[in-house]
Structures are given as structure tokens and as C-alpha cells.
Structure 1
Amino acid sequence: MTIDTKTLTELKEALLTEKAELESNLGRIAKPTDGEYVTTFDEVGNDREDNATEVEEYTDNLPVEQALEKKLHEVNAALARMENGTYGFCDNCKQEIAIERLQANPSAQTCIKC
């Protein structure tokens, strides 16, 4: 089963939409640096309460930034696989990934078995 052109176009559009959303969300909490993102540490004041707020926001944002960046890497990898013709094949066993899985998660890198 090969992915038809219409479905591939729909999956690519979904990936591009997700990429834009991820980049927008990352831009709210982090700054792009050399292709990566770094969580911002806003300085809002010098007293203890302000410093505590800054640290709390930073520690809250750091895992969110890491999760968003990981997902962005997955989306970019899927788009690259589309370009080089390996999209839709499992990275582990090289078998085709079920279309239903790709429709549910267009950036899937592995089949259900793997």
C-alpha cells in the first residue's frame, strides 16, 4: 500500500500546520538560537518576590519548551522524509506504517509493532 498523492498532500498540510503552531508556541516561551530554542528567563525586578516568580516561570516553561522542541524535531523529520521519499516507512523494520496511524500522528516514525 503506497500513500496516494491526495493523502500525502493532506498529511503534509497537517505537518506544516503543526509546525507553525509549535514554532508560535515556542516563540512565546523561548528564543531561537542556532536552530534550537532556549527558554527565556525574564527579569521583572530585583526583590525576592520578583526573583521567586522569575525562577518559578522558568522552571515551569523549561519542560514545556523541551517537549515542544522535541515534537518540532519530529515534525521536521517527517517533512524531510516526505522530501526524500522515505515517509510512511518504519524507521526500525522498514515496513509501511498504516495510513490510519499516519492520519492520527503524521510525524510517526515507527509502525505499531515497533
Structure 2
Amino acid sequence: MDKKSFEELRQKLEEKKETLEKQLGSFAKKDKNVKGDWDTKFPEFADGELEEAASEVEEYSINLPIEFSLETRLRDINLALEKIKKGKYGTCEKCGKKIPEERLKAFPEARF
């Protein structure tokens, strides 16, 4: 892979990371105790209506799996960026062979 393609992939990963962090930040907050972990914001119940509280709990339960999915993608992107720093980017974790450039262009955080 040439330097230009490599830099384009790194930039794409950085952009994806920023987008995912913004998406997560809209309904979750970074966990101060666990690096790279996010926690869905649990609704704070005031003296509101029961229907409103139920709606907030429902929204929370919908956001949990979304948080997990976005967190997983963010971890893969951070791992790819770390591999770039270490010079190990683009190598399959299973067999050790080079991941095809076409695959990396389509899915830059590919691990296999």
C-alpha cells in the first residue's frame, strides 16, 4: 500500500472516530473509570408524570444496545489507529496475512 492510500485510510478512521464519539455523546457519557467505555445516560426522574417516566425508561432501554454497537465500532477504530502507530495496520489477526487494500478502503477498521 502506498503512503497516500495509507494516509487516506488513517484520515477516514479519524473521521469515523469523531462521528462515533459525537453519536455516543448525544445519549451517553464517557466512563471515568474504564478507558474507552461509555455509559448510557439513565433518566433522572423528577416529580413528573408516570407516562413521562415510562417513556424515559423505554428510551434508555432502546439506547443501551445502540451504545454497545457504537462502542464496539469505536473500539475497532481505536485499535486500527493504534496498529497504524505500531506499524501493524492491515494485517489479519487470524492468519497474519495482509488484508486486501480494497477491503481496507471499504472497511478501514477491518481486523480480518
Bucket of the pairwise TM-score, normalised by the shorter protein: over 0.9
Q: Give the number of equivalent residue pairs.
A: 108
Q: Within the alignment, does 1:38 sit opposite 2:39 as a pair?
A: yes
Task: List per-residue Cα deviations over 1:19-40 (Å, max 9, x = no partner).
Answer: 0000000000101013210000
Match of 1:11 among 9, 12, 16: 9
Aligned to 2:81: 79
Q: How does 1:1-114 map to 2 (within 5 A)?
A: 3-34=1-32, 35=35, 36-43=37-44, 45=46, 46-110=48-112
Give the RMSD, CA atoms, in angstroms: 1.0
Deviation at 1:44, TM superposition (A): 5.4
Q: In the alignment, residue 3 of structure 2 is paired with which amino acid?
A: T
Runs of 4 or more consecutive aligned structure 1 residues displaced over 6 Å after TM superposition: none
- Per the TM alignment, residue 43 of structure 1 is displaced from its structure 2 partner at its CA by 2.6
Give TM-score, length-normalised by structure 1: 0.91
Residue 26 of structure 2 aligns to a residue whose secondary structure is helix
- Structure 1 stretch displaced more, 78-87 or 34-43: 34-43
Which structure 2 segments of 5+ residues have no match?
none
Superposed displacement of residue 41, structure 1: 1.4
Letter in structure 2 aligned against 1:99? E
How far apart, in 1, do the equivalents of 2:12 and 2:103 lie? 14
Letter in 1 for 2:23: N
